[in-house]
Amino acid sequence: MKNSETKKFETKVDLHNRNDMRAIKVTYSNGDTISTSMAKSLTDDEMLNYFSIGKWFNLGSVGDNMQQVTNRQILR
């Protein structure tokens, strides 16, 4: 390959249709709602226990933003 040529690689991943994963929607005390993927081997109870009502999570991306879980819904 010449220096002026560039080899192109493409990877196609459908992040919205991850059939190999479970999903849960979590609502926090500030009103934020976040849907996230979890391992397909987890049971409903394990997912709900991890995101138990009242548990604190840091939702901040730059600074801390500590919020409590107020609701959760298993999506798949």
CA distance 54 to 20: 29
Q: What is the pTM of this model?
A: 0.73
57 sits in the region (left: phi over 0; alpha: psi -120 to 50; else beta) called beta
> Residues 8-26: pLDDT tens digits?
444 444 555 656 899 999 9
Q: What is the mean pLDDT of residues 40-61?
A: 97
- Residue of higher predicted confidence among 33 and 17: 33
User: What pLDDT shows up at residue 20?
Assistant: 84
Q: What is the domain partition of the chain in residue ranges?
A: 21-74
